[in-house]
Amino acid sequence: MSGESKIEDKIRGKLASRKQTNSLRSLRTESNLIDFCSNNYLGFAETLPVKAFKDQGATGSRLISGNSKQFERIENKIATFHNAPAGLIFNSGYDANLGLFSCIADKGDTIIYDQHIHASIRDGIRLSNARSFSFEHNNIDTLEKKLQQADGHILVAIESVYSMDGDKAPLEKIVTICEKYKANIILDEAHATGVTGENGEGLAQSLNLESKIFARIHTFGKAMGCHGAIVLGSEDLRQYLINFARSFIYTTALSEHSLNTIESAYDKLKESGDLIKQLNQNISLFQSLLSKKLQSKLISSSSPIQCILIPENETVKKVEAGLQKKGLNIRAIMHPTVEKGKERIRICIHSFNSEKEIKMCVSSLEKLII
């Protein structure tokens, strides 16, 4: 048997085992269901004005031919919006985290991360030469224990709003404990961008703590409705990333079209206070309509991400199928994406979901979840 066919056998075997445990992932294309699953919290993905321009590919990496005045102007504009000294745009949030975490700490340094941290940060840490420990989700005592064991430069990785639970980091407490141990915070603001704070500036600014954070990552693929991400921090951090972040150095830069869209999204955000208010009203409406039974299964969250725990892949998949049948695009989050026993239905609330849609969503959940 040739080497090629053996590898085909191996991948088929691994897929079969995923199927057996009801955890096979597959791509879907349905389009006319009511959206309760996208990260398009404010509807920007459909409503951003498209500027007339001649589209142009970047033609190379930022360090070769892909840089432009437009790039640097937009980086400055976004950094100013977020009250940061400087910022560097990456092609995605995944690339930003991979690049930042893989190069920021060296052998002898320590990265401490929340147990629920996003896969992109975990992958960045795996590429780094630093020691790493996780701490119990949002638990300051276990964070302090890990800080006591840390050597070298200490980095602490947290998210503003956790993507799978929707809950927020206790940022004030984390800042206090990190100051005590001279640890540097890296805050992933992916699900807070455009949503948290009066104008969607993010969690750090909503608490006036931005100057206490070493680096913030804002992604543009969620509430901003487009694509890409920015790492905010000092001018030195920006220069460091240009020199050492491999996911920045060795990739073609974003196109002019992508940059224009990112700029439009930030311009729109400045006038989106009412949309954010509407989003928060919709979240409150959703929660207030839930029965006691469903409230007891709900993970506590004030963000647009609302999760109802339904253990077992098979059971949660059945609920998902029932919701889709009713015309609701709501997804099950299964093991191994979340730990066994914590499988869930994850509902994303948007500013554009109508009262009727939210009522229908809740009544369908009540009927399908026993």
From the list 93, 99, 197, 200, which residue makes contact with ligand PLP (rule: CB under 6 A)? Answer: 93
Size of the site for ligand PLP (CB under 6 A): 14
**β partners of residue 159:** 188
CB closer to ligand PLP, 36 vs 362: 36
According to the binding rule CB under 6 A, does residue 138 interact with ligand PLP? no
Region of 55-63, 86-94, 205-213, 272-280 interacting with ligand PLP (CB under 6 A): 86-94
Told to check if 238 binds ligand PLP by CB under 6 A, we report: no
70: its two tokens: 């437009």
Binding test (CB under 6 A) with ligand PLP, winner from 159, 201, 343, 357:
159
Determine the straight-line distance between the first and last CA of the chain, rounded to whole angstroms: 51
Give dist(CA 289, CA 287) in Å, integer: 5
Out of 44, 94, 248, 286, the only residue in the binding site for ligand PLP (CB under 6 A) is 94
Residue 115 to residue 193: CA distance in whole angstroms: 21
Nearer to ligand PLP, 93 or 233 (CB): 93
Secondary structure of residue 11 in the 3-state scheme: helix
Q: Which residue has the tokens 């800080």?
A: 147
HSE-CB for 117 with a 13 A CA cutoff: 26
Cα distance between residue 196 and residue 268, in whole Å? 15
131-135 sheet: strands from edge to edge: 86-90, 229-233, 215-219, 184-188, 154-159, 110-114, 131-135
Instruction: State residue 293 phi and psi, 5-degree precision.
Output: -60, -50
Cβ of residue 315: shortest distance to ligand PLP, in angstroms?
Answer: 25
229 binds ligand PLP (CB under 6 A): yes
Residue nearest to ligand PLP (CB): 93
Q: Of these, 109, 114, 165, 188, which contacts ligand PLP (CB under 6 A)?
A: 188
CB 186 → ligand PLP: shortest distance, Å? 11
Question: Cα dist. 269→190, 273, 291 in Å?
Answer: 15, 8, 34
Is 326 or 342 the residue whose CB approaches ligand PLP more closely?
342
| In the complex, minimum distance from the CB of residue 232 to ligand PLP, in angstroms, rounded to a whole number | 14
For ligand PLP, the closer CB: 138 or 163 = 163
Quick one: 229 or 330, whose CB is closer to ligand PLP?
229
Q: Which of 62, 116, 118, 346 binds ligand PLP (CB under 6 A)?
A: 118
